[in-house]
């Protein structure tokens, strides 16, 4: 209806997974690269996870266009199957003949293995892609693993890509599925888009549809980000409805007011115009993606405090005030706003969680105070690190942290992320205990995400005695040897002597990062966060 009005040749924000409209953000590029990497390996399984609507299916369809012609592909879209039905569906997708009246699990398995062997002799590859794989039952996944047992001396004859929501990661952690989990050669968790990426995403889709002019104002994009939380599917719904609203109002630009009206019409959200935060409404079905993977920044050896500019306060005595999870978000914001929430006070609280001395007399200058404290903590074999990035990646470190919170009217407070309850159920099902001055406040994931500004400070215990921040090709030989020893131990590989940072070492590092859901690095720099997770078993302070 609005195509002619905006000079469009087709609807730009359809929720159908059209590869022509795929906006390759850095995260989508990484996801595609991980899938391609996994398919070039000799292992059996590749894993792609992400929240509802983040673009998993679209990425997988883009992958299909880059697969060699000598690849036989089976695509299962409805995985709510029994063991027999999985095997039968696999036969159907590969065009393997069988008698449905007499076929058993054994005869179906034999038919598939015979097909795989024939394709190998023809120098063809076989790929099985399963979407919505979080619905697979454990016994079906085990049957899938058995299918990948057929192999030559150098590779598996069947490769499997599992695509699903974050629950799939939890499923694969079950004890009875540990053998399958060990066969995953590459994995990636697709996160929502950032605000700047959303602007490029919208412009990209409008351009593909035929409109080169900027239609959405900056304020409109900001509102779309806050409402959608970066989920492309919700962005598409909002933008489509917003374009319809602009057309109805005879406006050639989509502004904030049109977006807010569109959000109410979409029906999944109610928008609180007074504080510009989303009130999660009727259906609690859309949440942020979980990440145990894709850590981006290297941990700093010395904390850089220039980005924090706040006043000071004396540290109060702790008088816990537990706020019920069921209370309204506005009440939680009010409780936090009533605190002073200074950086210095929260940092002293963080230090006490590590059983460290905290200076009772706060320095007037925050920079001097925290640098002084962090310098002293080096004597305890501990380091301070500044964090910038997604909340999920900070949570994956499993360390308490001073986090920067954004409240309405541009108010900023600092709080200590002290504990996470029900972390094994996924972040969206967890509760988070924040300490702000003399109050302990319990919030849920959506509430914490709304206040999160992407900045944090944490204390951690480096695994390397010299507390080096990174290991690269320029590092001393002893450091490089130590790194290779640790990676060999984690991967169950024999130790070897080496005098330089070679490709084998980099490959080991990338495998460990991928297996732990972390972003692989093309350079030889070593993010020490890779080992923080390995190191939290014995550290003093953890959040879950």
The domains of the chain are located at 26-190, 193-280, 298-470+527-544, 477-526
Q: Which two tokens stand for residue 190?
A: 């697709």
Measure the CA–CA gap between 173 and 291, rounded to whole angstroms.
14
Q: What is the mean pLDDT of residues 440-465?
A: 79
Answer whether residue 218 shows pLDDT above 70: yes
Q: Average pLDDT in the 95-101 region? A: 92
Q: Which CATH architecture has domain 298-470+527-544?
A: Alpha-Beta Complex (3.90)
pLDDT confidence tier of residue 281, bands split at 50, 70 and 90: very low
> Is the domain covering 26-190 a CATH 3.40.50.300 domain?
yes
Residue 275 has pLDDT above 60, yes or no: no
Average pLDDT rounded to a whole number, residues 165-180: 85
pLDDT score for 295: 32
Q: Name the helix (H) or strand (E) containing 477.
A: helix 477-491
What's the pLDDT score for residue 309?
Answer: 35
Judge contact between 112 and 147, C-beta under 8 A. yes
Percentage of the residues of the chain whose pLDDT score is greater than 70: 75
Give the residue with greater pLDDT, 524 vs 207.
Answer: 207
At 130 the pLDDT is 93
**What is the token pair recorded at 214?**
């900027």
What is the pLDDT, as a whole number, of residue 401?
Answer: 92
Averaging pLDDT over each range in 10-19, 178-187, 342-351, 385-394, which range is the top one? 342-351
Which of 111-125, 281-295, 318-332, 398-412 has the least mean pLDDT?
Answer: 281-295
- pLDDT for position 273: 39
Least confident of 38-47, 113-122, 142-151, 239-248: 38-47
The predicted pLDDT at position 217 comes to 93
- pTM for the whole structure: 0.49
Contact 77, 254 (CB under 8 A): no
Q: Each residue of 481-518: b (16+ CB within 10 Å) or e?
A: bbbbebbeebeeeeeeeeeebeeebbebbbbbbbbbbb
Chain Cα centroid distance, residue 447: 18
Q: What mean pLDDT do residues 29-36 have?
A: 78
Burial class (CB in 10 A: 0-12, 13-18, 19+), 29: exposed
pLDDT digits (tens, 9 = 90+) for 463-519: 554 445 567 777 778 777 777 766 776 677 765 777 788 888 888 888 877 776 666
Give percent above pLDDT 90 in the chain: 22
Helix or strand (DSSP H, E) at 324? none
Radius of gyration of the chain (CA): 26
**H or E element that contains 544:** none
Q: What is the mean pLDDT of residues 341-346?
A: 85
- Is pLDDT at 301 greater than 50 in this prediction? no
**SS3 state at 216:** strand
**What average pLDDT does this structure show over 159-173?**
88
CATH of domain 193-280: 1.10.8.60
Q: Which residue has the higher pLDDT, 457 or 422?
A: 457
Strongest mean pLDDT among 116-130, 187-201, 419-433: 116-130
Residue 162 has a pLDDT of 93
C-beta of residue 264 within 8 angstroms of C-beta of residue 331: no
């Amino acid at each position: 209806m609005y195509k002619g009005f905006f000079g469009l040749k087709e609807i730009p924000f359809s929720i159908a997974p059209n590869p022509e409209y795929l906006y390759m953000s850095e995260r989508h590029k990484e996801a595609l690269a991980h899938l391609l990497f996994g398919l070039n390996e000799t292992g059996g399984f590749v894993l792609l996870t992400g929240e509802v609507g983040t673009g998993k299916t679209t990425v997988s369809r883009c992958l299909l266009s880059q697969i060699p012609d000598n690849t036989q592909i089976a695509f299962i879209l409805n995985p709510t199957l029994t063991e027999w039905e999985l095997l039968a569906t696999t036969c159907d997708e590969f065009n393997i003949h069988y008698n449905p009246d007499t076929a058993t699990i054994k005869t179906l398995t034999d038919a598939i293995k015979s097909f795989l062997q024939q394709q190998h002799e023809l120098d063809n590859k076989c790929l099985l892609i399963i979407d919505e794989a979080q619905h697979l039952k454990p016994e079906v996944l085990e049957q899938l693993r058995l299918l990948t047992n057929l192999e030559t001396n150098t590779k598996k004859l069947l490769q499997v890509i599992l695509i699903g929501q974050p629950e799939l990661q939890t499923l694969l952690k079950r004890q009875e599925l540990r053998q399958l989990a060990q066969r995953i050669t590459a994995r990636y968790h697709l996160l929502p888009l950032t605000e700047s990426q959303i602007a490029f995403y919208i412009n990209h889709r409008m351009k593909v549809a035929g409109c080169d002019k900027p239609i959405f104002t900056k304020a409109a994009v900001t509102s779309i980000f806050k409402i959608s939380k970066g989920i492309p599917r919700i962005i598409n719904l909002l933008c489509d409805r917003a374009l319809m609203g602009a057309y109805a109002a005879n406006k050639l630009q989509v502004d904030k007011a049109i977006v807010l009206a569109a959000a109410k019409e979409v029906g999944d959200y109610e928008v609180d115009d007074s504080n510009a935060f989303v009130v999660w409404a009727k259906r609690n079905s859309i949440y942020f993606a979980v990440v145990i993977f894709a850590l981006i920044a290297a941990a700093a050896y010395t904390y850089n405090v220039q980005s924090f500019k706040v006043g000071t306060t004396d540290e109060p005595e702790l008088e816990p005030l537990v706020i019920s999870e069921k209370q309204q978000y506005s009440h939680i914001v009010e409780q936090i706003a009533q605190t002073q929430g200074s950086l210095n006070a929260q940092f002293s609280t963080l230090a006490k969680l590590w059983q460290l001395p905290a200076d009772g007399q706060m320095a007037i200058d925050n920079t001097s105070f925290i640098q002084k404290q962090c310098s002293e903590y080096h004597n305890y074999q501990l380091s301070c690190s500044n964090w910038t990035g997604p909340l999920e990646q900070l949570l994956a470190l499993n360390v308490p942290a001073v986090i920067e919170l954004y409240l309405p009217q541009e108010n900023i407070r600092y709080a200590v992320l002290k504990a996470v309850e029900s972390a094994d159920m996924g972040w969206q099902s967890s509760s988070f205990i924040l300490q702000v001055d003399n109050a302990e406040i319990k919030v849920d994931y959506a509430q914490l995400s709304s206040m999160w500004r992407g900045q944090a400070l944490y204390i951690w215990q480096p695994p390397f005695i010299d507390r080096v921040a990174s290991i690269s090709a320029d590092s001393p030989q002893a450091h490089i040897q130590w790194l290779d020893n640790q990676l060999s131990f984690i991967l169950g590989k024999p130790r070897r002597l080496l005098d330089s940072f070679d490709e084998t070492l980099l490959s080991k590092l990338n495998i460990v990062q991928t297996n732990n859901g972390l972003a692989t690095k093309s350079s030889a720099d070593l993010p020490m966060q890779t080992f923080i997770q390995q190191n939290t078993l014995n550290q003093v302070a953890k959040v879950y």
